[in-house]
Amino acid sequence: MRSAAAVSLPSLPPALRGGLPFLGHAVDFYRRPVDFLGRARRQHGECFRFPLAGKQVNAFIGPRAHEAVFRAPDDQLGARDVYQFMVPIFGKGIVYDSPPALMDEQLGFVFPALKDERLRRYAAFMQEEAESYLERWGDSGEVDMLDTTNEVTMFIASRCLLGLEFRKRLSTEFARLYKDLEGGINLIAFFNPRIPTPAHWRRDRARTRVVELISKIISERRAKNVEGEDFLQTLMSAHYQDGRTLTDDNIAGLLLALIFAGQHTSAVLAAWTGILLLQNRQYLPPIMKEQEGVFPTSEVTLERLRSLDVLHRAIMEAERMHPPLIMLMRAILKDFEYDRFVCPAGELALVSPAVAHHLPDVFKDPQRYDPDRFAPGREEHKQSPYTLIGFGGGKHRCIGMGFAYLQIKALWSVILRRFELTLVDQEYAPNYATFVVGPRQPCRVRYRRLQG
């Protein structure tokens, strides 16, 4: 007979049955990851494990489980070991290729770019880029919504982070290079980012060229003794604690890290925001009424963007229903205990916003689009910590979340006050083949310019 002490000892989380030799559950996982994780969660609860292509993955899905993962120290659950496939893009010694203390120091360089003084200038840039882009539309036509949001957010990122010179002269080339860099984020890279494949060759050539472009701007500014009002200038002036300045390669790597952290997720979230609103048009009148009250003139300011509470809730609901990152991973560096379970060092920990945001015990009627679930008096996301985790949580929550929300508000404020939109297609399904999950293309929208 087992003693009471033996019964209380921690054990491995419940394991999913089935799977293939070595591959484990990789086929189901990569085909329909959200359905796969959702079924497992319903069967085993908020913590379970499964083999995946030679790795053991421990899933944590539920507010309490999220808190345990996000609050764990870096020397126990680490992002660095999981995201090595980003090192060829960001560069040697940058972010995931640096010790935790140095990574924290590098991320600290970002904060000046996100202060209100800088964001006030960015708000004007966001309006300028959105209006300039939308002028090309003419009076009526059709566009692909994801292409539109990708292009506008890329122009905004170029203007705010890389500067006016870069935006005017190099944005078109940079967009092509960025696409090649994105192509280097794939399943092969997850297991070995240095395998010589055509996608990885294009990735490496693109990064070399990006460093050349940024180095040229840096040299021109220093030769002319000119200072820009952008994040590039912030990094040019930055120093490590030991007094070292950043090399051009360091600067390029940190700029790419910030753009990757914000641009693609912003583009995807902006596309889902519009698609869901157009699918649920009963929520448009309050948003338009808010636009009329907040914008007595057409000028977009930081304060006006922040006061768009109704639009903000629509973005939050898009984040809940279609989080751009459907899963977040950590390497288990030391045995990790949760409840009665212990997850061994050497395995992986996984959190899935896409599954967690549809838990009926957290969000009422989770399949229904309802931005008012975040309104005062309801605020379902505040009923317990770590419920809405589209931008992560804890220490490593995305520091660019505020910037992302601002540019989505700026873009949709300009669009909605100038155009009437209707959806062309019936289905706008998630594309799980991409690392950042947007709507499967084509996702077409028909527009007509408003008069007056």
For residue 8, the model assigns a pLDDT of: 57
The Cα–Cα gap between 354 and 437 comes to 10
For residue 24, the model assigns a pLDDT of: 87
Note the helical H segments in 158-294.
Answer: 164-183, 187-191, 198-224, 231-237, 248-279, 284-294
For residue 3, the model assigns a pLDDT of: 46
Q: List, as own/partner pairs, every contact residues 197-204 make where C-beta atoms lie below 8 angstroms and the sequence separation is at least 24, other chains included.
A: 200/88, 203/88, 203/89, 204/88
Q: Which amino acid appears at position 393 of this protein?
A: G
139, two tokens: 């009076």
For residue 1, the model assigns a pLDDT of: 45
- pTM, full prediction: 0.91
The Cα–Cα gap between 208 and 203 comes to 9
pLDDT tens, the chain, 452 aa long: 444 444 556 799 999 988 888 888 988 888 889 999 999 999 999 999 999 888 899 999 999 999 999 999 989 998 888 888 899 999 998 888 888 888 888 888 877 777 888 889 899 999 999 999 999 999 999 999 999 999 999 889 888 888 888 888 777 788 889 889 988 887 677 778 888 899 999 999 999 999 999 999 899 889 988 887 778 888 998 889 999 999 999 999 998 888 887 788 899 999 999 999 999 999 999 999 999 999 988 889 999 999 999 999 999 999 999 999 899 999 999 999 999 999 999 999 999 999 999 999 999 999 999 999 999 999 999 988 899 999 888 777 777 788 899 999 999 999 999 999 999 988 899 988 777 889 999 999 999 999 86
CATH fold, domain 109-324+400-452, is: Cytochrome p450 (1.10.630)
203 within 8 A of 194, measured Cβ to Cβ: no
Domain ranges in the chain are 109-324+400-452
394, two tokens: 């804890």
CA-closest candidate to residue 79, choices 353, 330, 307: 330
Degrees, nearest 5: CA angle 258-416-120: 40
The Cα–Cα gap between 154 and 265 comes to 11
CA-closest candidate to residue 255, choices 298, 301, 207, 307: 207
The Cα–Cα gap between 328 and 319 comes to 15
For residue 30, the model assigns a pLDDT of: 83
> 358: Cβ–Cβ under 8 A, 6 or more apart, which residues?
38, 321, 366, 367
For residue 330, the model assigns a pLDDT of: 94
Residue in the block written with tokens 């990789």 = 26
